[in-house]
Amino acid sequence: MSDVQSRGRRLFGPGTTVADLKAYMAPFVDRLGYKFNTEEAFVEEVLESELEILEETGDIYCPCRARTGDAKEDAKIVCPCIPFFRDQFAGLKKCWCGLFILEEIEDGGELLGVMEEPQGDVEVPAFLARDVAPGQIRHVKIGKRDVAVANVDGDFFALSNVCRHAFGPLGEGFMDEHVVMCPWHGWRYDVRDGTTDHPNADVRTYDVVVRDGAVFVVVGARAG
């Protein structure tokens, strides 16, 4: 049985073009703080490769990463795979192959072939500020970190997404000014410093930077 038959579902049908992929991907990666590489010929080449992979497998897997055969794991390398590797790509300022680069990069050609991540803190784009209204909170996956980012009257704060009581998702909680209430049992955390009234149950916080309408969470660069 072919990959296409075994998957059973496919987003892009026969006759999909490079222009179709661009039109579909661009609005999504924009919300993540990225854009297509400024090297247009390179973009065309990569997307043509993805069309070949699409014909073979039924999905647009990254052309520079090997598939494992495990559907769950391989879903992490379907292009655009930015959400699964936010911290690593932010450090590189691009995705692995360089198809997408950070919005702030002017010359994507300078990043082609670069695979060494910098040491120290990395500003990881989380979302556009306009996408999370005041009084709202959102879960963001950053590498292995689960982070909740809250908008309090236009100021953004980030803290661990995991409640220390029963591991409830704070990013799905209820905001009351600077306090988020866990949606499972109502434990309360101050989003500014991660503190709670319960002993030995404070959670970690992260610095947040807002620049050019985008929200960045500052994390330590991971190795490898």
Return residue ranges of the chain for CATH 3.90.460.10.
3-116
Residue 49 β-bridge partners: none
CA distance 217 to 126: 7
Residue 127 β-bridge partners: 215
Entry pTM: 0.86
Domain 124-220 adopts which CATH fold? Rieske Iron-sulfur Protein (2.102.10)
Instruction: Give CA torsion, residues 213, 140, 124, 214, to 10 deg.
Output: 0
CA distance 145 to 95: 19
Q: Which residue has the tokens 């496919």?
A: 10
CA distance 46 to 64: 9
Coil, helix or strand at residue 172: helix
Helix H, strand E, coil C: the string for the chain is: CCHHHHHCCCCCCCCCCHHHHHHHHHHHHHHCCEEECCCHHHHHHHHHHHHHHHHHHCCCECCCCCCCCCHHHHHHHECCCHHHCHHHHHHHCECCCCCEEECCCCCHHHHCCCCCCCCCEEEEEEEEHHHCCCCCEEEEEECCEEEEEEEECCEEEEEECECCCCCCEHHHCEEECCEEECCCCCCEEECCCCCCCCCCCCCCEECEEEECCEEEEEEECCCC
pLDDT at residue 165, as a whole number: 97
Residue 156 β-bridge partners: 151
Rounded alpha-carbon distances, angstroms, from residue 2 to 7, 15, 72: 9, 19, 18
Full pLDDT tens readout for the chain, 224 residues:
344 444 456 678 888 999 999 999 999 999 999 999 999 999 999 999 999 999 999 999 999 899 999 989 999 999 999 999 999 999 999 999 999 999 999 999 999 988 887 778 999 999 999 999 999 999 999 999 999 999 999 999 999 999 999 999 999 999 999 999 999 999 999 999 999 999 999 999 999 999 999 999 999 865 43
CATH of 3-116, one of 3.90.460.10, 3.40.50.970, 3.20.19.10, 3.20.20.70: 3.90.460.10
